[in-house]
Structure formats: structure tokens, C-alpha cells
Amino acid sequence: MSRIERHGSGAPWEQVVGYSRVVRAGDHVYVSGCTAPGQTPYEQMRGALEVAVTALAKVGATPADVVRTRMYVTDISRWEEVARAHQEVFGTAPPASAMVEVSALIDPRLMVEVEVDAVVLRA
């Protein structure tokens, strides 16, 4: 049976809510919802993806291993800003993806959150 690795990032919400930033179970990698500060949805998405890429690296994964993303936005009319940041990170190996509008995120200053799933088929 495969070992399960769990890693935190030190973010305060991890302890309060009780979750890991990234979990690797065998070949499968799951990155919890990532957010970041910024004045625009683009800035927040770029930052959130940087958090996700850092989490992936903790378990030996890269953006090329990502097979699915889920993007949550509080204003779907600004989807193009979020999409541009997503494309900049995953454009050469685009994952399956979804973007949905939500009424709010955990902090009212946040406009974007992203979850990432990856499969690592190498040691």
C-alpha cells in the first residue's frame, strides 16, 4: 500500500480548519484551495498559483503533472483576468479545468481561490 504524505504551508487557516496544503497518496497529489493577496483577480490568481506550485514541489510534482484545476471566483465578469494567469502557468500542459462563481470566499478581500490535482507517474 502506498504511503500518504501530508504537508502544510504554515498558513494559519490550516491549523484552525484542520487541513494540509498538499497531500500525496501514491501517484495522486491534491493541493487544497490556494489564495493570495492582490488588488486584482489576475494578481490574486498568479499568487495563488505560486502557492500551489510551491506545494506541488514539496511532493515532487510540477505544473506539468497537473491534471485538473478548480477555480472559484467572486465576480465571473472578470474571468478573463483569472484565465490569463491560469494560462500563463499551465499553457504548455493544460489540465482539465472548471471556473465557477461563488458568493464569497473565507476572507472578503479574496476574489479567487484555486484547487489543483496532479498525477506523478515517476519516482
CA angle 104, 106, 107 (to 5 degrees): 90
Task: Give the pLDDT confidence score for residue 15 in this predicted structure.
Answer: 86
Closest CA to 46 of 114, 107, 117, 118: 114
Environment class of residue 103 by beta-carbon count within 10 Å: exposed (0-12), middle (13-18) or buried (19+)? exposed
3-state secondary structure of 94: coil
What residues pair up with 3 in beta bridges, in sequence order? Answer: none
Contacts of 123 (CB under 8 A, 6+ apart): none
Report the number of distinct structural domains present in the chain. 1
- Residue 86 lies in domain: 4-119
pLDDT per residue rounded down to tens, the chain (123 residues): 468 999 998 888 888 889 999 999 999 999 999 999 999 999 999 999 999 999 999 999 999 999 999 999 999 999 999 999 999 999 999 999 999 999 999 999 999 999 999 999 975
- At which residue does the C-alpha cell 484555486 appear? 114
d(CA 86, CA 78): 13
Domain with residue 86: its CATH number is 3.30.1330.40
